[in-house]
């Protein structure tokens, strides 16, 4: 609903006076749903990105997706699609993400998006709704998405936060994925470890007919919860220096939903998601992760099942 053209610039060292000379590392179509669609294709799956597009930046977004070979359906809007910047400082190996809020959508544009989504969803077993909502849309917009997805006979995987998240939970989603920051809004306090994540996931599963809850814990890993219990998944050791977490959550969702579509159980699917998120942190910005690295890291993801008394499970 709020995509962007992602620009990644590289400087040697940021300085406070004078000019910072930069080189352009990459220019790509971005935003949660678009990133997920791209990464699904990287794993050999089939995906169509449904997104808004407005103004000259929106036309550039369409061109970038066409050039990349990502199947997509654009919904035209009056406002200008946003541009986002990742500034990579080579000397310190740090990344700085600068993201504007994006355009304000009109009510009729939101309704048109729902209609387009309803038509597109019919040919797919899963629909991923990812990212923030632009201004102008009601807080229950993702609840309306959930209803359209159910009508199309698909399953909704949701990755968002705030009022949009709570409204969709009341309607019911198949799988909810959130990170530590997003989970704070559900728990009301900082989410630091697996015990906190368990409290988050239990609230999610109790809030409505959600079948799977996944809370990502950054370098710790993730907790995957279903009606059968909770499984801690420990992040694998990285084979290199982490450069950026931009897009790591989207990569995780893509890997997870590809494996679910292939018939994997939730824990096994989530394990590849954790490995893929780790692999994506080895690249600056939202540049493509190395699929072979993700697959090599998958056996390094340790798991532990919780149901009352804790037992080890690898």
Q: Do 222 and 215 meet the contact criterion of CB atoms below 8 Å apart?
A: yes
- Quote the tokens at residue 195: 């015990």
Does the annotation mark 245 as catalytic?
Answer: no
- CA dist 3 and 85 (Å) reads 13
What phi-psi label fits residue 88: left (phi over 0), alpha (psi between -120 and 50 degrees) or beta? beta
- CA dist 256 and 277 (Å) reads 10
Catalytic residue among 39, 159, 196, 250: 250
Element spanning 310, H or E:
strand 309-312
Q: Do 116 and 73 meet the contact criterion of CB atoms below 8 Å apart?
A: yes
Q: Do 61 and 260 meet the contact criterion of CB atoms below 8 Å apart?
A: no
DSSP class of residue 8? Answer: E
Cα 196 to Cα 162, 220, 309, distances in angstroms: 18, 12, 17
User: Would you please indicate which residues are annotated as catalytic (active-site) residues?
Assistant: 250
């Amino acid at each position: 609903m709020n995509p962007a053209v992602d620009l990644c610039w590289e400087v040697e060292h940021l300085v406070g006076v004078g000019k910072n000379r930069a080189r352009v590392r990459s220019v790509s179509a971005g935003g949660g749903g678009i990133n997920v669609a791209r990464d699904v294709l990287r794993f050999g799956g089939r995906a169509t990105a449904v997104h808004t597009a407005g103004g000259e930046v929106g036309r550039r977004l369409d061109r970038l997706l066409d050039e990349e070979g990502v199947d997509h359906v654009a919904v035209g809007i009056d406002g200008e699609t946003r541009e986002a910047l990742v500034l990579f400082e080579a000397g310190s190996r740090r990344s700085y993400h600068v993201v504007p809020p994006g355009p304000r959508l009109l009510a009729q544009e939101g309704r048109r998006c729902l209609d387009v989504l309803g038509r597109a969803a019919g040919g797919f077993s899963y629909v991923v709704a990812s990212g923030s909502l632009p201004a102008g849309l009601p807080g229950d917009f993702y609840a309306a998405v959930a209803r359209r997805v159910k009508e199309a006979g698909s399953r909704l995987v949701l990755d968002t936060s705030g009022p949009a998240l709570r409204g969709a939970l009341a309607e019911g989603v198949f799988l909810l994925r959130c990170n530590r920051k997003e989970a704070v809004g559900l728990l009301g306090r900082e989410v630091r470890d697996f015990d906190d994540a368990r409290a988050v996931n239990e609230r999610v599963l109790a809030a409505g007919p959600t079948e799977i809850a996944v809370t990502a814990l950054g370098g710790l890993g993730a907790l995957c919860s279903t009606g059968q219990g909770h499984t801690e998944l420990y992040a694998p050791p990285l084979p290199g220096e982490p450069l950026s977490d931009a897009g790591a959550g989207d990569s995780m969702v893509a890997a997870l939903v590809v494996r679910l579509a292939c018939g994997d159980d939730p824990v096994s699917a989530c394990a590849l998601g954790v490995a893929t998120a780790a692999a994506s942190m080895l690249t600056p910005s939202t540049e493509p992760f190395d699929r072979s690295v993700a697959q090599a890291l998958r056996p390094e993801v340790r798991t532990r099942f919780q149901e009352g008394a804790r037992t080890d499970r690898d």
